[in-house]
Amino acid sequence: MPKILVTGGLGYIGSHTVVELHKQGFEVIIVDDLSNTSLDVLERINKITNSSINYVNLDLKNIEATKIFISENNDIDGVIHFAASKAVGESVENPLKYYTNNLFSLTNLLNELKDLNKEINFIFSSSATVYGNPEIVPITESEPIKKAESPYGNTKQIGEEIIKDLVYSNSNFKAISLRYFNPIGAHSSAMIGELPIGVPQNLVPFITQTAIGLRKELTVFGNDYPTSDGSCLRDYIHVMDLAKAHIKSLYKLINNEDKSYYDTFNIGTGKGTSVLELIKCFENVTENKLNFKIGDRREGDVAECFADVSKANKILNWKSELSIKDSLLSSWNWEKNINNEKLQ
């Protein structure tokens, strides 16, 4: 089977994708600089897969180290590139960190792959943030790319442009950019999941940490949006469905005989769920009452953001299968598991 390099493979989405790659029979090599994760995740992946996944501690911003790594692993057939900083708020406060981490690491990696002078199938971890504040929902891939709302979103826009330009200038490269909406959930084993360092940036870890008592209360930012219940609508997708989208994308590239193939796909469920609906669903499936309050609107939040996924359904032969209930229950099982481990 093809050998796939997964950068940032010990992160939230990366770790679940590594598990799915192994399940599908791919040979996997992970690189991660451990800036936002730990080696404990590798141990968990190895337990789930009952194997020993190849791992290298590598900072892709290091030109010489990256050059050596790629030359020693010149038999790779594909790359899934997750390695990036990803907190929108932090990117506003520290934009240079984001431009350096997210773009220099990308161009450095692509330069070394280009020098291999062989066919490379490249999947880029992009984001719905590239759409900025959308005028129409559901959002299709043809929605105009507007000015990014944050430096993080801008790095995803620029990253897509870099890859597209490379593909059209070099017939060895085929690439797909996957624009994720809102990944949630955890692996069914409850051995890997989203593990934020410090205060969670995303809603579901904040919900589970509040439910288990790590946080005093949850704030819902605004209940006066033009939606059914006044709270923001988002497209929440189970991380395992997202992982499977990467596998489908790999097959699309590997089996595609076209030279210089590049395309973008929305990866979501195609349905919007409000923040208050998500909280109510969590309370129902876990039988936990959440302590939450309504706060002011948060700057930069849009009322509605959900995907039109018909293109991915048709071209990648992929669609989401797991429900919001599945996602929330798996997140809760993961939260309970890591909390129990801390108590032991």
Q: What residues are annotated to the active site?
A: 152
Beta-carbon contacts of residue 177 (< 8 Å; ≥ 6 apart)? 123, 124, 126, 159, 160, 163, 164, 262, 263, 264, 265
Helix, strand or coil, per DSSP, at residue 330: helix
Q: How far is CA 25 from CA 20, 69, 145, 236, 285, in A?
A: 9, 23, 36, 28, 34
Question: Is residue 166 within 8 Å of residue 218, measured between CB atoms?
Answer: no
* Chain CA centroid to CA 157, Å: 15
Residue 279 contacts residue 319 (beta carbons within 8 Å):
no
User: Which residues share a beta bridge with 184?
Assistant: 238
CB 220 within 8 A of CB 292: yes
Measure Cα distances from 255 to 167, 171, 277, 316 in Å. Answer: 17, 15, 41, 11
